[in-house]
Amino acid sequence: MILDRRWLLALAAASIAAPALAAPVLGQPAPAFQAVDADGRTRSLAEFRGKTVVLEWTNNGCPYVQKHYNSGAMQGLQKQATRDGVEWLTIISSAPGFQGYLTGPQARQWKTKVGAASSDVLLDPKGLVGRAYGARATPHMFVIDAAGRLVYMGGIDDQPTPDPESLKVAKNYVAAALADVKAGRAVGRPLTQAYGCSVKYNSAD
């Protein structure tokens, strides 16, 4: 898969320092993981093989995340995706004591409060899943196809601002990627620059 060199350079320039890990590769199998969800169940990426999967990194204290949830835009996209059979996994990688950290009961309460329509909320307080994917922003988005291949990673849209007015003119990259996958064609823009708050990892982990 040939990617626009300018977008690769932009992605590298925007990277936040993190422990050295093999980076996820577009067109290759998405990194396997297990994580406990808000109900205390252990979930794994493997159980969703055969379905399109969206991974959404979130932090309820982040103004960029709040733009998408307070407006209802994120919930609308989640509803459309899940109606199409997509498994949408919202992931919280904030460490205990850091902005956005939620326990299981708190995550369930948050999901109900905002009306999130994701398939599940996964808790990643040690940042193992986040670091495996190189997630560095909230929101940071990934799309995995039914064969388990990573077909999109980057920002949710092309408006890197917390201003909700920007949603009126935003091009939603995740919606476009899901439409391409649903139509059986290659994702037109598989790599974009993620924007938002930094993922609140604990550097001691």
Q: Supply the CATH number for residue 66's domain.
A: 3.40.30.10
Domain ranges, residue 147: 26-198
Query: 101 in a domain, yes or no?
Result: yes
Q: Indicate the number of domains in the chain.
A: 1
Tokens of 73: 């835009």
- Whether 2 is in a domain gets the answer no
Q: Find where tokens 């159980």 sit.
A: 47
- 205 lies in some domain: no
Burial of 83 (C-beta count, 10 Å sphere; 0-12/13-18/19+): exposed
Tens digits of pLDDT across the chain (205 residues): 334 444 333 333 333 333 445 679 999 999 999 999 999 999 999 999 999 999 999 999 999 999 999 999 999 999 999 999 999 999 999 999 999 999 999 999 999 999 999 999 999 999 999 999 999 999 999 999 999 999 999 999 999 999 999 999 999 999 999 999 999 999 999 999 999 999 999 987 6
Residues 6 or more apart whose CB falls under 8 angstroms from that of 55 comprise: 89, 91, 133, 135, 141, 142, 143, 144
CA-based diameter of the chain, in Å? 44
Give yes or no for a contact between 141 and 173, defined as CB atoms under 8 angstroms apart: yes
CB atoms within 10 A of CB 170: 18
Any domain includes 19: no
Q: Is 204 part of a structural domain of the chain? A: no
Residue 147 lies in a domain: yes
